[in-house]
Chain A
């Protein structure tokens, strides 16, 4: 019988000696060039971190390759970032360039630091999820191919965090991203009342609906959906498998902008709706890639240095955001959920464009 509840390996056994010696004693850091951080300790010792991109969905062969590189260049010490980048941890500046050469020769992008686009946090999509409205790895790959240069350089006004979730469950909690790509359904679930009694619990299915669109008939053990109240979140399907919601012709992607998680300057903010719907167009999702690239480049041209996407939009106003990006404003942009009125304008102060 295997031991249970042993917990993860102790992180202290994974730290390179230079970190063990200088734990909690770091004085300052500099970004030496895109993808290379230097942290200097009170002791005078320095740690060099080299950051490389990853598709996140990686094979064991790929992990073994990363191990081989780490063994050769940094005594086998590495870490992953909260945005799925790989970081090689070196104790000698002279080891940095040979590592970068090797990474580049093996096709790893080096960057994602400072005022850059870093790796896109994303979910499983069609690879492994049962509720997706789109794929995750595919749109991310297509987009990163197109905005690759923003990863390997640091020429944006501030860093731009892009995230993708393939449905409203938002496993990636993308709701506070500079640019969020969100898979959405647009049609009501197709309730199979012949299966409901066997596979669903009626009260919990009724309770799962954020807008109260589902009614239960306990006597007949069936459910009805009020189509007019349904906003296709799919939460009922999560608790009741007899309410499938995927619809190839109507599922797609929405784009949200202006969120952030840090407390730097402005408070953390939610992302807000920019584009209500774009079609699923595999394998390269050209409409989605173009839309995100457009927003990114309009931001890069117009924001002041150090402004995040949301800070820029708050300064210039949403009217200006829509006119600069050329994105049409629709009635879907106007909130109608709880607290919607908080977002309505209550003054005559607005811009014409």
Chain B
């Protein structure tokens, strides 16, 4: 018997969880790029270091985004992955697929690439992993014919994403899918032709459970919420009492302690409710978000690079969101214009707001300061005043 060629990776074919090595080998049976990829990866496992060179500018005609250049640093050993570029394909909103669409994607990729994908990448795109420079344009042409388009990369609007929303979830306070699709279609130019200081991410979650991590991961976070009272079906509350301990699991864990349970009826002091979703999550049959629905807008969220990770900050406590979403899009554009004008290269929106001050940001984009924006007012006395306000007072 011959010696195994990839003993380290072979080890990861074992075990109960689905193995990516099995998928690599499946692709390698048909494709020389995938074959060399396995061998390069085995070398990485042996050397404990990556073997890809720093990017390279490649793309398709008319776009400055959607393709990530990648080259092997050992083309001598692995000539078939000398160039191994990635295409980001904008996923159908909510990651819903009919199998004929998925098969079309596979047909294009079997024809032009390695046969390997990520379903999906972290931002949401379907990732087609590995092709040569001369296949990029033909691959894009075939994708376009099949009804697909590329997503964002570089200093562009990145592919917006949304939670499953009203397609399946009873908690949806906004139509996250329609909003996301509408934004995606409106801003095709910003997605495909990078023109900003750095990346800009928009994520839409239809309720405060935030299933697409909008607050943690996007510059512009849209989170569904409501203004009026939680809808209560007391009969169903009582039915839950047989399966959960309502006092202990619901009332005692409510962050504002805004509910009382007497064994028969649940009383909610809605003025104290901060719409955290805990009680609704636990008793979906009995409790529902209110009827006056809309969204909270938060901005500035990002991962660490460069100046540290940030969570998005509340800038609009409540906004109604109905098609065609003009008010929302107008706000997005005002914010992007200010960022574009003032941001340094590779400075995200949250970092710019930190540098210039929330006060300056709010004034520039025309948003009023309200207490909902802060956990607490400032504790230091280093307070700025606008010159025009001082002159008024002096008179």
Can you list 19 A-B pairs, Cβ within 8 angstroms, ordered by A? Answer: A2-B143, A6-B149, A8-B90, A23-B167, A56-B20, A57-B20, A61-B27, A62-B26, A67-B99, A80-B120, A130-B50, A145-B14, A175-B304, A208-B306, A241-B54, A249-B48, A265-B255, A265-B276, A283-B9
Closest 9 CB pairs of A and B: A145-B15, A241-B54, A144-B17, A76-B99, A24-B166, A2-B144, A263-B208, A126-B44, A2-B141
Once the chains are docked, how many angstroms separate the CA of A1 from the CA of B307? 42
Known: A5-B149, A251-B49. A84 touches B120 (CB 8 A): yes
| B8 surroundings in chain A (CB, below 8 A) | 282-283
Known: A11-B181, A262-B277. A338 touches B166 (CB 8 A): no
Interface residues of A in 119-150 (CB under 8 A from B): 121, 123-132, 135, 137-138, 141-142, 144-145, 148
Check A82–B311 contact: CB distance below 8 A. no
Check A135–B188 contact: CB distance below 8 A. no
Q: Is residue A324 within 8 Å, beta carbon to beta carbon, of the partner chain?
A: no
- Select which of A6, A30, A151 is within 8 A of B147 by beta carbon: A6
Known: A129-B52, A306-B253. A76 touches B44 (CB 8 A): no
- Counted as pairs of residues, one from A and one from B, with CB atoms less than 8 Å apart, the total is 343
Check A207–B308 contact: CB distance below 8 A. no
Check A4–B92 contact: CB distance below 8 A. no
Known: A129-B52, A142-B12, A210-B308. A60 touches B110 (CB 8 A): yes
| A259 surroundings in chain B (CB, below 8 A) | 216
Stretch binding the partner chain, chosen from B111-119, B322-330, B384-392: B111-119
- Select which of B94, B122, B130 is within 8 A of A11 by beta carbon: B94
Once the chains are docked, how many angstroms separate the CA of A151 from the CA of B18? 12
Once the chains are docked, how many angstroms separate the CA of A283 from the CA of B13? 11
Check B208–A59 contact: CB distance below 8 A. no
Query: Which residue on A lies nearest to B23, using beta carbons?
Result: A59
Check B213–A173 contact: CB distance below 8 A. yes
Stretch binding the partner chain, chosen from B168-176, B263-271, B335-343: B168-176
Q: Is residue B96 within 8 Å, beta carbon to beta carbon, of the partner chain?
A: yes
Check B101–A14 contact: CB distance below 8 A. yes
Q: Is residue B366 within 8 Å, beta carbon to beta carbon, of the partner chain?
A: no
Check B305–A233 contact: CB distance below 8 A. yes
The 8 A CB mask of B35-56 against A (1 = contact, 0 = none) is 0010001001101111111110
| A98 surroundings in chain B (CB, below 8 A) | none
Stretch binding the partner chain, chosen from A164-172, A221-229, A295-303, A343-351: A164-172
| A33 surroundings in chain B (CB, below 8 A) | none
| A270 surroundings in chain B (CB, below 8 A) | 309, 311
Check B98–A59 contact: CB distance below 8 A. no
Check A28–B285 contact: CB distance below 8 A. yes
Indicate the size class of the contact surface on chain A: 35 or more
Known: A175-B304, A261-B215. A128 touches B18 (CB 8 A): no
Q: Is residue B109 within 8 Å, beta carbon to beta carbon, of the partner chain?
A: yes
Q: Is residue A176 within 8 Å, beta carbon to beta carbon, of the partner chain?
A: yes
| A32 surroundings in chain B (CB, below 8 A) | none
- Select which of B16, B144, B169, B213 is within 8 A of A6 by beta carbon: B144
Q: Is residue B82 within 8 Å, beta carbon to beta carbon, of the partner chain?
A: no
Once the chains are docked, how many angstroms separate the CA of A8 from the CA of B184? 8
Q: Is residue A353 within 8 Å, beta carbon to beta carbon, of the partner chain?
A: no
Task: Tell me the minimal C-beta distance from A157 to chain B in angstroms.
Answer: 11
Interface residues of B in 1-40 (CB under 8 A from A): 8-9, 11-12, 14-21, 23-24, 26-27, 34, 37
Q: Is residue B333 within 8 Å, beta carbon to beta carbon, of the partner chain?
A: no
Check B44–A79 contact: CB distance below 8 A. no
Query: Which residue on A lies nearest to B170, using beta carbons?
Result: A26
- Select which of B20, B121, B253, B306 is within 8 A of A55 by beta carbon: B20
Check B170–A28 contact: CB distance below 8 A. yes
Query: Which residue on A lies nearest to B128, using beta carbons?
Result: A60
The 8 A CB mask of A172-188 against B (1 = contact, 0 = none) is 11011000000000000
Once the chains are docked, how many angstroms separate the CA of A258 from the CA of B77? 43
Q: Is residue A235 within 8 Å, beta carbon to beta carbon, of the partner chain?
A: yes
| A27 surroundings in chain B (CB, below 8 A) | 170, 285
Once the chains are docked, how many angstroms separate the CA of A7 from the CA of B187? 9
Q: Is residue B97 within 8 Å, beta carbon to beta carbon, of the partner chain?
A: yes
Task: Tell me the minimal C-beta distance from A260 to chain B in angstroms.
Answer: 9
The 8 A CB mask of B42-85 against A (1 = contact, 0 = none) is 00110111111111000001110000001000000000000010
Check A5–B192 contact: CB distance below 8 A. yes
Known: A2-B140, A70-B99, A127-B41. A7 touches B90 (CB 8 A): yes
Once the chains are docked, how many angstroms separate the CA of A316 from the CA of B188? 49
Check A109–B16 contact: CB distance below 8 A. yes
Q: Is residue A219 within 8 Å, beta carbon to beta carbon, of the partner chain?
A: no
| B96 surroundings in chain A (CB, below 8 A) | 11, 14-15, 77-79
Known: A23-B167, A24-B166, A263-B209. A135 touches B278 (CB 8 A): no
Task: Tell me the minimal C-beta distance from A249 to chain B in angstroms.
Answer: 8
| B54 surroundings in chain A (CB, below 8 A) | 130, 237, 241
Once the chains are docked, how many angstroms separate the CA of A9 from the CA of B215? 26
Q: Is residue B281 within 8 Å, beta carbon to beta carbon, of the partner chain?
A: yes
Once the chains are docked, how many angstroms separate the CA of A204 from the CA of B44? 30
Task: Tell me the minimal C-beta distance from A229 to chain B in angstroms.
Answer: 14
| B134 surroundings in chain A (CB, below 8 A) | none
Query: Which residue on B lies nearest to A83, using beta carbons?
Result: B211
